[in-house]
Amino acid sequence: MKLIVRTGLAAAVVLGAAAAAVVPASAAVVTDDPRPVAGAHAVVPNPKTIKAAAYNQARSTLADAGSRTAAKSHPIHGKTDVPVSYGTSLLAAARDEFRQADKKLPAKDKKSDMSIAHYNAVHSAAKTMGIDTW
């Protein structure tokens, strides 16, 4: 009986040592920085806050492109920073509004279900605020 227990413990120690040797080797493959993929852009996490001036500029860009939601929103004043949710909400509302307005356009004139001009306006506004995901 003692032989079986000792053999089992020895096998567990050997397997544990092998697993410990394998984990660091596989962990070396993982990197913190995003890897570029052909045809895709790297996703960078959104900032926690955005500058009020950047929000106001993005709001103007979207309003000039025809977003009624952006035109109705009030410019930020009296604050230096605002939560990123202000910007993501503005972008999502404009995106949805543009998609609804452009749904009857032919597919060749659209990008991401909206006109190319609207697509460019939304992405320009997002870039201005430093927002990658909305």
For 94-130, the pLDDT digits (tens) are: 999 999 999 999 999 999 999 999 999 999 999 999 9
Identify the pLDDT of residue 4.
60
Whether 36 is in a domain gets the answer: no
Per DSSP bridges, beta strands 110-111 and 114-115 are: antiparallel
Amino acid identity for residue 53 in this structure? A
From the list 5, 8, 123, the residue with the least C-alpha distance to 62 is 123
Whether 116 is in a domain gets the answer: yes
Alpha helices in 1-134 (DSSP H): 2-27, 52-64, 68-72, 84-101, 116-129
Identify the pLDDT of residue 121.
98
Average pLDDT, integer, range 60-87: 96
Q: Kindly indicate the confidence band of residue 84, based on its pLDDT and cuts at 50, 70 and 90.
A: very high
Whether 80 is in a domain gets the answer: yes
Whether 88 is in a domain gets the answer: yes
Identify the pLDDT of residue 45.
83
Whether 96 is in a domain gets the answer: yes
46 Cβ contact partners less than 8 Å away, ≥ 6 residues apart: 84, 88, 130, 131, 132, 133
Q: Under DSSP, is residue 59 helix (H, G, I), strand (E, B) or coil?
A: helix
Stronger pLDDT, 98 or 29, i.e. the higher one: 98
Angstrom CA distances, 71 to 24, 60, 65, 67, 118, stand at: 54, 7, 10, 6, 15
| Per-residue DSSP letter, 108 | G
pTM of the model: 0.67
**Structural domain range at position 62:** 49-129
Whether 81 is in a domain gets the answer: yes
Whether 54 is in a domain gets the answer: yes
Whether 15 is in a domain gets the answer: no
Structurally, the chain folds into a number of domains equal to: 1
